Structure 1
């Protein structure tokens, strides 16, 4: 058995998501478990170097989690051949420039989404990585949530018969920051800083819908800025220029209709922060982040609408829990392990920068639909192939 240490540049891990999900619950957890085992018996040990602008935060993270390396110079990290992977969880407006530099330095790329501020940049990054022949991936963490894994099992087994529709409700009340601190950073509510729930969440909904039910073919969307003013981290009021809620309908391949509400201005009266309800000819399912319950055709009750009497049926009790039948690890950690195996052992990893660009595309078309108040079809994305020094379209 050989032990291989892989240097990973981690840029942006002083933020909430980068610290908790990518550093502590993924890379540090992988190190503490002894690395990632490959099929040939070798073991990969990730060796991160934390990069950012705040020396104090970087040093504190390194010391707290028994790490050794940190830097405020991205260029120095990229110039070090020991570092094979570049990871980016910065704010969206900073991501594309750093990834370009990492591609030029020959690093394998793994990053958060959205991969860039617009579709043109997202496709450019995918094309650059393709031309450079480097491995690349985008975080698509919700695919590895226990509730969605159970839902995928139902889809693959044919439980639903013909899937008819999908309803998704996501969100919670984010405090305005005046009498209680907000749970999300203030840039989320400023369009000029890359904020907005459409930009943030449609990147997620694209890969969830594509991977579970069928490719998204068209979109109709209305966004709103329900809360016009908020208070930032420095207790200063600011004007919200980005949408904080979106009400969308998607048509998927096969004629499946998906209705998706996303909101940071709703108070939760459902079983989870994300609830996905799927109806099919043979059965239905309701999934949250961890749990999933079903109602088959043969056990479907026969309610009759009668508003003149109290409801006699205990609807919530007429569903059956889907068992886990396995242990579920952190979704971010699972995908990190898959990407490390992809880099070290060339194992498959389908969630590429091109897949990330699809999320950016859906966000842009959702915003366009809102502006123009109409349905918009979604063109197929593909990378180009170099021929005679020119880029021509080619299917992916």
Structure 2
């Protein structure tokens, strides 16, 4: 058994995602002796942190065992590290990823992979022509609730799927009474902001894998909160949507409804809830829990719910039990799969073409709003 170090550049290391999801999970793999490979070797991630603020980088690096760091992306890409992770702001991501591809780095990046589908496909083609491994983070199906939903789908629980509904979002404060929970660039188009661009990335791969590929989209978007305070307390005008509604046509005849808002107050079990209805049963899942109702257990609800207190609908669903063993962070599972993909050519589904599909759905949703019509979703190929 040998220990193999693999250098990973994390650009955006001091941001929330860079620190809590990417750096933390890679360090956890290293702290446990590395990732076991099929041949018995163990792969040890060796991190190089990249950011804009030298002081914050130095503090972060020192607090985690004196990790390597730099404020110069060119310096990082000139070194021997094999993998480039981009988790800083979206707007300039294509330029940074093109630099990394030119430097011969394998590409594993956050979504959305680019602001437009053309740029996203360009990155996929560049990485493929360069013979590099490439992928995008698709973490939501590793969350316990959605993993259960995927498992019962694969077991044939639903029969013929009729529809999928997604209700997601929460109230994001504008910064006047409580601090805004999202960075200000999320609300600025020029910096890659916008709810649809951010979240359609998740909805595309979730629906494609939980139901079937999306073939059409019609959308409505609004900006509910037109002014906010940024990180310095300065007021700015929001020029990106914070609310998005979409109707979807899905292969084999199913339909989809997405209601997504950063300006809604919760009266549901989770900030993100997916319901799938099929001829043989239905299931509802949040991030952690999943409930089912089989066709044989479905009550008559039309008249049963017609008077107050007539039926306790929640009690008529069965909870899907947790899988055995400890829960593993979804981002860690994404990283483990990609590290194996690089080290031993293990399969990795969410490549940059899959990332482009996510951008495509957002792009077509924006066009639907602009042109006030249904948009077809064509197949993307390298």
| TM-score normalized by the length of structure 2 | 0.98
Aligned to 2:341, the other structure's residue is in SS state helix
Q: Say whether the 8 Å CA contact 2:91–2:190 is kept in structure 1.
A: no
Q: Say whether the 8 Å CA contact 2:109–2:135 is kept in structure 1.
A: yes
| Cα distance per residue 1:176-204 (max 9 Å; x no partner) | 11111100011111112211101111111
* Residue 390 of structure 1: aligned partner: none
| Cα distance per residue 1:331-385 (max 9 Å; x no partner) | 00001011011111111111111110111111110000011111100111111xx
Q: Say whether the 8 Å CA contact 2:49–2:67 is kept in structure 1.
A: no
Aligned to 1:92, the other structure's residue is in SS state coil
Distance 2:148 2:133 in 1: 29
Q: Say whether the 8 Å CA contact 2:168–2:259 is kept in structure 1.
A: yes
Where does 1:312-391 land on structure 2 (aligned, <5 Å)? 312-326=310-324, 327-383=326-382
Shift of 1:273: 0.7
* Residue 84 of structure 2: aligned partner: 86
| TM-score normalized by the length of structure 1 | 0.94
* Residue 9 of structure 2: aligned partner: 9
Aligned to 1:207, the other structure's residue is in SS state helix
Please identify, of 273-282 and 325-334, the stretch whose mean Cα deviation from structure 2 is larger: 325-334
What is the root-mean-square deviation of aligned Cα atoms in Å?
1.1
Shift of 1:297: 1.0
Runs of at least 5 residues in structure 2 that lack an aligned partner in the other structure: none
Distance 2:142 2:266 in 1: 23
Shift of 1:255: 0.9
Change (3 A) 1:157 1:307: closer
Aligned to 1:371, the other structure's residue is in SS state helix
| Cα distance per residue 1:278-317 (max 9 Å; x no partner) | 1111111000001101011111111233787323111011
Q: Which among 169, 184, 187 is matched to residue 186 of structure 1?
A: 184
Distance 2:156 2:55 in 1: 53
Determine if the alignment matches structure 1 residue 255 to structure 2 residue 253.
Answer: yes
**Runs of 4+ with >6 A deviation:** none
* Residue 132 of structure 2: aligned partner: 134
* Residue 204 of structure 1: aligned partner: 202
Q: Say whether the 8 Å CA contact 2:304–2:311 is kept in structure 1.
A: no
Where does 1:94-113 land on structure 2 (aligned, <5 Å)? 94-113=92-111
Where does 1:247-286 land on structure 2 (aligned, <5 Å)? 247-286=245-284
Change (3 A) 1:49 1:311: same
Distance 2:227 2:141 in 1: 34
Distance 1:75 1:22 in 2: 21
Distance 2:77 2:89 in 1: 19
Runs of at least 5 residues in structure 1 that lack an aligned partner in the other structure: 384-396
Determine if the alignment matches structure 1 residue 195 to structure 2 residue 193.
Answer: yes
Change (3 A) 1:308 1:80: closer
| Cα distance per residue 1:57-88 (max 9 Å; x no partner) | 1111111122420011211211112x011111
Aligned to 1:362, the other structure's residue is in SS state helix
